[in-house]
């Protein structure tokens, strides 16, 4: 049989790429139903369980800590065991942990469960200090910390495989646009989750619904992903030039130690990671704390506050989609200039938010929209596009996982420090912390102003 004409092959590959982009988009977007669901429910959780701002900050931080450590591990495991397998485990695990969070108050009353959770999380109590906990170590708090950490760990099975698959399916020339489209999955997923959870809390008054429904949605998405996802285009290996085939083969079977050396020995990846540390402290500051803050300041319920906060990721979708295009169109694929400018704007907008939130809803929403555009535009450049640009030896999942690991250590620190600031210095202290983190990140990323993508890098040394 004669081979298919080149035009027909190109048309088929284009169709397959569009299909895989849709699968990757829905897959990663669905993760956010179990990632940001606690923000709109935070006030209800505190009221129902009697937790302080610092204690709920520990719970929110536990998700970020689990996610950060999971990123460090899952990025390497993706290189070794394949993206599809790690994605499936992550989706099912996060769905299960989120569902169990709804049952945490009942489960914690089982003596063996409560004692085990308290023993495992004892270091948290020691590090936090008994003076920072309003009451004795609560029966429900240790289990919630444990389950929140587990949810974060499994959530970390999302981004590294998605970045790996994107690098396999799409060429360098389409990277900015592809990652921009994928970036809208997390922003729109966040916005939909905010509104849905806020509406559920408003309708039922029960915080547990904020865990049950998102868990069901993520589980359904995992079925769709398992059925439709493919690791690579058909015949992709044979279509590559010989030098690139050798590089791809080395990356596909890269041992964990080799992937770690390729990542940890890369100064540019460290700059991206530390920049994301500051960005995520601010990003999750808004996502986790702004809904409850707005509900109190504006005197509204969970749904109106969630709708206002939803403009942050909604505008972020535009930022994520356009930032990669801007780097390709005006900066010769240099990501750092756009990223640094956006981060600087975030720092200034955080200070503006501090003022306008007391003025009214309209200026607050406009400020949140501008902040979201800048936050998510910079975020997708750091953890997606630039991480692929500067990864060595084809270890794109390992690079993205490490960058996201450090970023979510920033998110963890952000939640804990924000809770401490609110308790001791009020919201002004929290906003000053967010603005400082964003401006420091902007200055750091600016050191890569002239750096260009490493389109042809040698495999990592054995």
CA 28 to the chain's CA centroid = 10
Q: What band does 398 get if pLDDT is binned at 50, 70 and 90?
A: confident
Query: For residue 208, is pLDDT > 90?
Result: yes
Query: For residue 425, is pLDDT > 70?
Result: yes
Q: What band does 216 get if pLDDT is binned at 50, 70 and 90?
A: very high
Task: Report the pLDDT value the prediction gives residue 455, as an integer from 0 to 100.
Answer: 46
- Residue given tokens 């460290």 in the structure block: 270
CB distance 43 to 292 below 8 Å: yes
> DSSP secondary-structure letter at 393?
T
Task: Report the pLDDT value the prediction gives residue 97, as an integer from 0 to 100.
Answer: 96
Task: Report the pLDDT value the prediction gives residue 152, as an integer from 0 to 100.
Answer: 93
CA 445 to the chain's CA centroid = 19
Work out the angle at residue 43's Cα, subtended by the Cα atoms of residues 41 and 44, and round it to the nearest 5 degrees. Answer: 65
Work out the angle at residue 455's Cα, subtended by the Cα atoms of residues 452 and 159, and round it to the nearest 5 degrees. Answer: 90
Task: Report the pLDDT value the prediction gives residue 233, as an integer from 0 to 100.
Answer: 78
Average pLDDT, integer, range 125-147 = 68
Mutual orientation of helices 159-169 and 53-81 as an angle, nearest 10°? 40
Give the Cα separation of 429 and 285 in Å (integer). 12
Dihedral (CA of 78, 325, 373, 275) sign:
positive
Instruction: Calculate the average pLDDT of the chain.
Output: 83
Task: Report the pLDDT value the prediction gives residue 16, as an integer from 0 to 100.
Answer: 86
The 10 Å Cβ neighbour count of residue 318 is: 17
Burial class (CB in 10 A: 0-12, 13-18, 19+), 52: middle
Task: Report the pLDDT value the prediction gives residue 127, as an integer from 0 to 100.
Answer: 65
Query: For residue 246, is pLDDT > 50?
Result: no
Q: Which of 220, 228, 314, 306 is nearest to 30 (CA)?
A: 220
Q: Which of 319, 248, 331, 308 is nearest to 279 (CA)?
A: 319
Query: For residue 148, is pLDDT > 90?
Result: yes
User: What tens digit of pLDDT does each residue of 250-274 get?
Assistant: 445 566 677 778 788 899 999 999 9
Give the Cα separation of 192 and 183 in Å (integer). 15
Lowest mean pLDDT among 126-140, 199-213, 443-457: 126-140
Give the Cα separation of 420 and 193 in Å (integer). 27
Average pLDDT, integer, range 391-403 = 78
Query: Bigger pLDDT: 132 or 128?
Result: 128
Q: What band does 367 get if pLDDT is binned at 50, 70 and 90?
A: very high
Query: For residue 420, is pLDDT > 50?
Result: yes
Q: Which of 380, 175, 399, 167 is nearest to 273 (CA)?
A: 399
Query: For residue 435, is pLDDT > 70?
Result: yes
The model carries a pTM of: 0.75
CATH architecture of 13-227+242-448: Up-down Bundle (1.20)
CB distance 124 to 46 below 8 Å: no
Task: Report the pLDDT value the prediction gives residue 337, as an integer from 0 to 100.
Answer: 92
Average pLDDT, integer, range 400-419 = 84
- Residue given tokens 């981004």 in the structure block: 159
State residue 5 phi and psi, 5-degree precision. -60, 150
Burial class (CB in 10 A: 0-12, 13-18, 19+), 131: exposed
Query: For residue 2, is pLDDT > 50?
Result: no
- Residue given tokens 């030098």 in the structure block: 243
Task: Report the pLDDT value the prediction gives residue 250, as an integer from 0 to 100.
Answer: 46
Contacts of 248 (CB under 8 A, 6+ apart): 168, 237, 240, 394
Percent of the chain whose predicted confidence (pLDDT) is above 70: 87
Give the Cα separation of 178 and 15 in Å (integer). 14
Average pLDDT, integer, range 353-376 = 92
User: What tens digit of pLDDT does each residue of 24-79 get?
Assistant: 999 999 999 999 888 888 888 888 888 888 888 888 888 988 988 888 788 778 87
Task: Report the pLDDT value the prediction gives residue 146, as an integer from 0 to 100.
Answer: 92
State residue 266 phi and psi, 5-degree precision. -110, 105
């Amino acid at each position: 049989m004669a081979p298919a004409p080149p035009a027909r092959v190109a048309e088929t590959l284009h169709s397959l790429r569009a299909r895989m982009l849709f699968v990757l988009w829905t897959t990663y977007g669905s993760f956010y139903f179990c990632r940001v669901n606690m923000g709109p429910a935070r006030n209800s959780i505190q009221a129902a369980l009697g937790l302080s701002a610092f204690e709920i900050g520990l719970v929110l931080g536990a998700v970020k800590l689990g996610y950060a450590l999971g990123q460090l591990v899952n990025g390497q495991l993706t290189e070794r065991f394949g993206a599809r397998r790690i994605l499936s485990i992550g989706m099912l695990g996060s769905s299960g942990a989120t569902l169990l969070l709804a049952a945490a108050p009942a489960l914690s009353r089982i003596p063996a469960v409560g004692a085990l959770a308290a023993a495992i999380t004892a270091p948290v109590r020691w590090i936090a200090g008994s003076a920072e906990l309003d009451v004795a170590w609560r029966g429900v708090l240790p289990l919630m910390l444990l389950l929140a950490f587990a949810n974060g760990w499994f959530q970390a099975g999302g981004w590294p495989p998605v970045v790996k698959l994107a690098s396999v399916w799409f060429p360098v020339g389409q990277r900015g646009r592809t990652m921009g489209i994928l970036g809208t999955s997390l922003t729109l997923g966040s916005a939909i989750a905010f509104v849905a959870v806020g509406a559920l809390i408003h309708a039922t008054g029960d915080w547990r619904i904020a865990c049950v429904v998102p868990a069901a949605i993520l589980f359904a998405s995992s079925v769709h992903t398992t059925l439709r996802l493919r690791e690579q285009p058909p015949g992709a290996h044979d279509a590559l030039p010989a030098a690139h085939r050798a590089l791809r083969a080395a990356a596909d079977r890269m041992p964990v130690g080799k992937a770690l050396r390729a990542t940890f020995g890369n100064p540019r990846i460290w700059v991206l990671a530390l920049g994301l540390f500051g960005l995520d402290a601010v990003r999750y500051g808004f996502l986790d704390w702004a809904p409850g803050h707005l509900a109190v300041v504006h005197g509204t319920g969970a749904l109106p506050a969630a709708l206002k906060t939803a403009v942050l990721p909604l505008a972020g979708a535009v930022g994520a989609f356009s930032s990669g295009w801007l780097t390709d169109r005006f900066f010769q694929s240099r990501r750092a200039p756009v990223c640094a400018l956006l981060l600087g704007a975030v720092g200034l907008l955080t200070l503006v938010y501090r003022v306008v939130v007391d003025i009214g809803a309209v200026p607050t929403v406009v400020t949140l929209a501008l902040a979201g555009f800048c936050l998510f535009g910079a975020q997708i450049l750091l953890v997606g596009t630039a991480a692929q640009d500067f990864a060595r030896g084809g270890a794109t999942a390992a690079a993205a996982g490490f960058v996201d690991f450090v970023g979510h250590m920033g998110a963890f620190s952000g939640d804990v420090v924000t809770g401490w600031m609110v308790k001791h210095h009020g919201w002004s202290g929290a906003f000053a912390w967010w603005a400082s983190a964003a401006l420091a990140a902007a200055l750091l990323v600016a050191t890569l102003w002239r750096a260009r993508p490493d389109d042809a890098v040698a495999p990592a040394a054995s």
